[in-house]
């Protein structure tokens, strides 16, 4: 697993999405001689966000696919997930088990 840098802050459940995305973008950049710059990777409103510069259409499509995949992947454990809003109105993408754990912890 690649190490995370300070400006790359995503939930562990999305590690495989990020690893595959970075591998694909590296190949796209190499094949098209792009100086692709990934400025930030983060979670926002329960969805993966990738801020970039100098991406061609193929790279943009791959980034959008990864962002879409994150809306179906639990950000805690990586299982199949769905959008969930906490009582404090924070959005996450979680599986049923992680939702139950979050709700139990919120009730304490």
Residue 1 lies in a domain: no
Residue 2 lies in a domain: no
Residue 22 lies in a domain: yes
Residue 53 lies in a domain: yes
Residue 96 lies in a domain: yes
Boundaries of domain holding 98: 8-106
The number of folded domains in the chain is 1
Contacts of 58 (CB under 8 A, 6+ apart): 28, 32
pLDDT digits (tens, 9 = 90+) for 22-41: 999 999 999 999 999 898 99
pTM: 0.86
Residue 14 lies in a domain: yes
pLDDT digits (tens, 9 = 90+) for 61-108: 999 999 999 999 999 999 999 999 998 899 999 999 999 999 888 765
């Amino acid at each position: 697993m690649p190490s995370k840098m300070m400006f790359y802050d995503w939930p562990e459940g999305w590690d495989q999405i990020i690893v595959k995305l970075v591998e694909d973008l590296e190949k796209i950049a190499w094949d098209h001689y792009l100086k692709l710059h990934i400025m930030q990777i983060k979670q926002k409103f329960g969805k993966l966000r990738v801020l970039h510069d100098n991406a061609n259409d193929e790279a943009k499509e791959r980034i959008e696919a990864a962002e879409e995949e994150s809306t179906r992947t639990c950000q805690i454990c990586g299982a199949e997930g769905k959008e969930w809003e906490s009582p404090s109105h924070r959005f996450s993408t979680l599986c049923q088990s992680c939702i139950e754990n979050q709700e139990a912890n919120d009730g304490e």
